[in-house]
Structure 1
Amino acid sequence: MSSNIDSKKKNNIKTWLLIVGVLLISANLRAPLTSVGSVISFIREDLGISNALAGSITTLPLLAFALFSPVVPKIAAKIGMEKTIFTSLLILITGIAVRSLFDVKALFIGTLFIGIGIAIGNVLLPAFIKIRFPLKVGIMTGIYGVIMNVFAAIASGLSVPIASINGLSWKESLMFWGVLVIIAIVVWLPQLKENEKAEEVKPKAKKEKNRSGLLRSSLAWNITLFMGIQSLIFYTLLTWLPDILFIHGYSADAAGWMLFLYQFAIIPATFVVPIMAERMKNQKLLAGSIATLFFVGIVGLLTGATSLIVISIIVIGVACGSAFSLSMMFFALRTTNGKQAAAISGMAQSFGYLLAAFGPFLFGWLKDLTNSWTYSIGMLLFCAAVLFIVGIRAGADEVISDGPKKKYTVSTNQGL
């Protein structure tokens, strides 16, 4: 009897360690990136770099997401998911250290490492949750999304106050978030004993055939563009919103908290929109409404009216959370089975993040070229208009296959 009680206690401890480990990894999937946005002006002035080059600090991780994500399942298939996730944490802490300790080159090398580490978590964590929590996928995925966005918002809000402490700078502020990674590494260590091998990669010929079919699908491309454009808007504003607010009289500290508000507004929509989308016959109205929210919020930034700034930031935040969630739902709603859903998820995230990677750089380049934010913000308005068109098409009651649409449920959540 005593041994059974001890065994139950051990299992409970292992379960809670696993849950805490998952949540700590979730907390690290955006904070190392969002912490940069509010101190980017400090980085630019300290290192003497241009706006375009400063914008590429956000571009590099997105390129890592796009280019490295396809190889992650192969690595997990060879060494196991737990070890691969642990490796991602080691890469992440290395990137955070290198980014803050050395010169301009090290800033970008460290940022690239951070992007690779987060890319691994983006790909594997949702699949890991499905494997280890098969009866609690919805709850765990929901909590994982909330934790990710909450810490993303906190990192944006606290970076400037930390950098403003006497004797500290933007380097120590960005290094601070490495503490969270170290805690995650320590808590994750017991999971290395439970190494779960990922599914074997499909034969190359079959894989290429499936990808080729998606590349010929206009619906697949509309979903991909929807995913990419909403990511482009999100990461561009994540990088440049504080600088835009400076010209409207905001201090660095206040701009950082506006960035916090921007990301905090994302959280409620990530819960509501998937429920709405699943109950609709098609998602045309939902997609069009989201694009309209983007357009209205961005116009508010363009006008520069002080009374509209806070409302505009909240509206754009809600639009970002809604668009990301709808992107994830499209992977399930526009396909007929889990295999196909995974395929379109891979295509949309690979091409989508590649598209998004150009946003922060182009936004900064337009500012350098014109010495005004007007054309840069105008670029985002154009993106919102395109999002409206592709969103309507992606929201049609169709699937990426021949034959009638079937009712099914599949989990395809990925990271922002």
Structure 2
Amino acid sequence: MFSSSSTLFANERTMPIPTVVIPAVRPMWWRVLAVGALVLAAFNARTAVTAVGAALPEIRAALGLSTTAVAILTAMPCLCIAATTLLVPPLRRRSGTQTSVVVFLGVLLAGQAVRITHGHWLLLAGTVLACCAIGGLQVLLPAVCQQIGGRRTAALTTLSASMIGVGAATATAITPWLTALRGWRTGLGIWILPVAAALFLWIPLSLARTTRAASPPRMPRSRRSLLRSAQAWYLTLFMGLQSLQALSMLSWQPVLLRVTGVSPVGASALSAGTLLVSIAASVVITASCYRNTTRIGMWMVLTTCSGGLGLLGLLVAPATAPILWAALLGVGMAALAPALAAIPAHTTSDDETTRLSAMAQGFGYLLAAVGPALTATLRDTTGTAHWAIAALLFFCLLQLLFSVLANRRRNVST
């Protein structure tokens, strides 16, 4: 849901589309290197964000961060990703997809190194760089899958989506342990290593000119603005609200669980379990929507309901069945899969799909930025997790409303 390249991602995951990249004859070493580089790049597309959430109490205590600073720190991923979306297409046109990936991996490496040096200002500056790099990587990964996948593009996109979740779960599980052992700088700094490994593979891959892109067919530009389409706004608001839920839980689930009485180790384990469930659910949803696009609306409703039930259980009975609540939240976080699939399913041309994807990205992530910031503010001002969870539950009800409205009509141009 990030750019015109994400249109390829959504289309490939939901229905067969004509391949827009013509692969040249590639040696075996290139294919192995490309798949390994793709896996490592996807693994790094969440670690910098989830590591901060897992070590946030220790970071705040060590640096004396204010409520405002914490709110900015947790809202930064949404704002940076939304801003980076505008920069990726011209960079990709000028430098190529693979070289652009190297650039963003380099920025990610620099950002993670800067934020563990000294002081809260460098922490914020490094986080800005890291989050902008993550936004760029998320835009480019679908295009990478399209270039190296050929007939296996759908399998590679599913693999990359799963590796994003694996990276997030790994950072959530390991960061608190490293932080308790060696301090928060070690807990955050360890994630520089997989970025360096990804760069080690991507640099020679970007120098191997073994692919050529076919010129996409010219499509007539629609004169109707999607800003005037209620259907487009329903889909955009659903996209933004599910991102709000997911990013709020990525940033704050360990902290909220600890406030409700769960031990730090237990909170990290439950948060990692939530991410693992979301990975499994995303694979199932992707396969289901790829075979039958009419199921997209059903999955939008079901994943939203699952997330709402998990929040409700966490609010009224957190100690009764914490594993069940974590699993339900994991299914709710998988709402990204039908959200991506809904974009091409509700458009009538490639141009319209691209414009709807751009609209959902920009406005959706601006809306999503409210979630982590509001969660931080409510948690600090009330001293309890109940009001923050209640606010997320309210947004989940709005998400359910827009999931129903978004599927009343087939096309945004209707």
TM-score interval w.r.t. the shorter chain? 0.7 to 0.9
- Name 2:226's counterpart in structure 1: 214
SS at match of 1:134: helix
Q: Is 2:321 the partner of 1:308?
A: yes
SS at match of 1:391: helix
CA distances 1:86-142 after superposition (whole Å, capped 9, x unpaired)? 000110000000111121001110000001111111111101211232211111111
- Name 2:100's counterpart in structure 1: 84
SS at match of 2:320: helix
Structure 1 residues 297 and 91, CA, compared in 2 at 3 Å: closer, same or farther?
same
Q: Is the 8 A contact 1:77 1:201 kept in 2?
A: no
Q: Which runs of 5+ in 1 are unaligned?
A: 1-8, 403-416
- Name 1:295's counterpart in structure 2: 308
The aligned runs of 1:215-294 (5 Å cut-off) are 215-277=227-289, 279=292, 281=294, 283-294=296-307
Q: Is 2:165 the partner of 1:177?
A: no
Provide the C-alpha distance between the structure 1 equivalents of 2:257 and 2:149, rounded to a whole number of angstroms.
43
- Name 1:154's counterpart in structure 2: 170
Provide the C-alpha distance between the structure 1 equivalents of 2:217 and 2:90, rounded to a whole number of angstroms.
10
- Name 2:345's counterpart in structure 1: 333
The aligned runs of 1:42-61 (5 Å cut-off) are 42-61=58-77
Structure 1 residues 369 and 263, CA, compared in 2 at 3 Å: closer, same or farther?
same
Residue identity in the other structure for 2:27: N
Q: Is the 8 A contact 1:56 1:361 kept in 2?
A: yes
Q: Is the 8 A contact 1:44 1:51 kept in 2?
A: no
Q: Is 2:407 the partner of 1:391?
A: no
Q: Is the 8 A contact 2:71 2:376 kept in 1?
A: yes
The aligned runs of 1:351-366 (5 Å cut-off) are 351-366=363-378
Cα drift, residue 395 of structure 1: 2.2
Q: Is the 8 A contact 1:38 1:252 kept in 2?
A: no
Residue identity in the other structure for 1:290: T
What percent of counterpart residues are identical? 27
Provide the C-alpha distance between the structure 2 equivalents of 1:116 and 1:106, rounded to a whole number of angstroms.
15
Q: Is the 8 A contact 1:51 1:364 kept in 2?
A: yes
- Give the stretch that moved more between structures: 15-24 or 282-291: 282-291
TM-score normalised to structure 1 length: 0.87
Provide the C-alpha distance between the structure 1 equivalents of 2:63 and 2:231, rounded to a whole number of angstroms.
44
CA distances 1:69-95 after superposition (whole Å, capped 9, x unpaired)? 122011111121111110001100000
- Among 311, 314, 333, the residue aligned to 1:320: 333
Cα drift, residue 307 of structure 1: 2.1
Cα drift, residue 337 of structure 1: 2.8
The aligned runs of 1:392-411 (5 Å cut-off) are 392-402=404-414
- Name 1:11's counterpart in structure 2: 27
CA distances 1:21-72 after superposition (whole Å, capped 9, x unpaired)? 1111011101111112111111111111134422432311211111111220
Structure 1 residues 53 and 200, CA, compared in 2 at 3 Å: closer, same or farther?
farther
- Name 2:18's counterpart in structure 1: none
Superposition CA RMSD, Å: 2.4
Q: Is the 8 A contact 2:79 2:365 kept in 1?
A: yes
Q: Is the 8 A contact 2:259 2:384 kept in 1?
A: no
Q: Is the 8 A contact 2:47 2:191 kept in 1?
A: yes
Structure 1 residues 272 and 223, CA, compared in 2 at 3 Å: closer, same or farther?
same
- Give the stretch that moved more between structures: 304-313 or 156-165: 304-313
- Name 1:190's counterpart in structure 2: 204
Provide the C-alpha distance between the structure 2 equivalents of 1:255 and 1:400, rounded to a whole number of angstroms.
41
Cα drift, residue 237 of structure 1: 1.5
Q: Is 2:125 the partner of 1:101?
A: no
Residue identity in the other structure for 2:85: S
Provide the C-alpha distance between the structure 1 equivalents of 2:194 and 2:59, rounded to a whole number of angstroms.
22
Provide the C-alpha distance between the structure 1 equivalents of 2:138 and 2:296, rounded to a whole number of angstroms.
25
Q: How many residues align?
A: 388
Residue identity in the other structure for 1:13: W
Q: Which runs of 5+ in 2 are unaligned?
A: 1-24
Provide the C-alpha distance between the structure 1 equivalents of 2:362 and 2:244, rounded to a whole number of angstroms.
13
Q: Is the 8 A contact 1:81 1:128 kept in 2?
A: yes
Residue identity in the other structure for 1:391: S
Q: Is 2:180 the partner of 1:164?
A: yes
SS at match of 2:261: coil
Q: Is the 8 A contact 2:309 2:325 kept in 1?
A: yes
Q: Is the 8 A contact 1:281 1:397 kept in 2?
A: no
Provide the C-alpha distance between the structure 2 equivalents of 1:198 and 1:153, rounded to a whole number of angstroms.
35
Structure 1 residues 15 and 227, CA, compared in 2 at 3 Å: closer, same or farther?
same
Provide the C-alpha distance between the structure 1 equivalents of 2:283 and 2:349, rounded to a whole number of angstroms.
23
Residue identity in the other structure for 1:309: P
- Name 2:21's counterpart in structure 1: none
Provide the C-alpha distance between the structure 2 equivalents of 1:274 and 1:386, rounded to a whole number of angstroms.
24
SS at match of 2:262: coil
Structure 1 residues 189 and 253, CA, compared in 2 at 3 Å: closer, same or farther?
same
Structure 1 residues 338 and 373, CA, compared in 2 at 3 Å: closer, same or farther?
same
- Give the stretch that moved more between structures: 363-372 or 122-131: 363-372
Q: Is the 8 A contact 1:81 1:197 kept in 2?
A: no
- Among 92, 112, 129, the residue aligned to 2:145: 129
